Amino acid sequence: QQQVKQSPQSLIVQKGGISIINCAYENTAFDYFPWYQQFPGKGPALLIAIRPDVSEKKEGRFTISFNKSAKQFSLHIMDSQPGDSATYFCAASWGAASKLTFGTGTRLQVTL
């Protein structure tokens, strides 16, 4: 059972534009929602994370928006740069942060 649905599967954004990736979850017990960035040949790296008691969290050019009632959260990358080209995964967990349920990933390409 897929518990975290992620869209789009791929995304092409021009340099300086805004990249938006969306995720929806089913399990209302989830209480930790991180986003990971993965470059080819590397393991995923934590980008930013949020808890459901906060509707938005911003770190530099990266912002998570969280809608608890809709069971949705999204990642916004402002002023997207070619170096942001990577695969992004949303995830969710409850109880134990080590047991993450991941979305299917979004391959982002930022063009010049």
Partner 1 sequence: KAGVTQTPRYLIKTRGQQVTLSCSPISGHRSVSWYQQTPGQGLQFLFEYFSETQRNKGNFPGRFSGRQFSNSRSEMNVSTLELGDSALYLCASSLSGGSAGANVLTFGAGSRLTVL
CA distance 37 to 85: 9
Considering the complex, state which of residue 80 and residue 103 has its C-beta at the smaller distance from partner 1: 103
C-beta separation of 15 from 111 below 8 A:
yes
* 3 state DSSP class of 42: coil
Among 7, 72, 104, 109, interactor with partner 1 by CB under 8 A:
104
Among 80, 105, 108, 110, interactor with partner 1 by CB under 8 A:
105
Considering the complex, state which of residue 13 and residue 50 has its C-beta at the smaller distance from partner 1: 50
Both tokens of residue 32? 């930790």
Both tokens of residue 36? 């990971």
C-beta separation of 38 from 87 below 8 A:
yes
Residues 35-94 that bind partner 1 (CB under 8 A): 36, 41-46, 49, 51, 89, 91, 93-94
Q: Residue 25, interface with partner 1 (CB under 8 A)?
A: no
Among 62, 102, 106, 108, interactor with partner 1 by CB under 8 A:
102
